[in-house]
Amino acid sequence: MTPIALIEAAATALWVYAVLTFAHWVVLSARLDRRQHIPALAELLGHLVPAMILLVLTVLAGALIGLPSVVALIALLFPAGLAFGTHMALSEADPPPPVGHTHARLALTLLLAAAIIYRRQIT
């Protein structure tokens, strides 16, 4: 397996986890009172901003230093930042989801990511 294939597989798993955590966050936010929707969104953005700042700093450092592999870092940092931000927003929700939901989300992530990677290899 080539390094590019490993990066692509890791990025796929991170994207799947980010989508699943965001979907769970949307479900939890929909259950809140209507007046709590904007604060919930502001909290989610507060968790996403530091990850995106790290992404921008990585791009700037790669441009200044001239790293050719900065694209590989971006391919991993962007979905990782989204996954981290949505996961943290979920973990700080009131009430936080049970640990079983997190384990189920991780299992579903592995299953879906494996199916997507397998499908890409076939076509």
Cα separation of the two ends of the chain: 17
Residue 73 contacts residue 62 (beta carbons within 8 Å): yes
In the predicted model, what is the mean pLDDT of the chain?
A: 90
Rounded to two decimals, what is the model's pTM? Answer: 0.89
Name the 3-class secondary structure at 12.
helix
69 pLDDT above the threshold of 80: no
**What tens digit of pLDDT does each residue of 5-53 get?**
899 999 999 999 999 999 999 999 999 899 999 999 999 999 999 989 9
pLDDT of residue 58: 86
What is the domain extent for residue 41?
A: 3-122
Domain count, the chain: 1
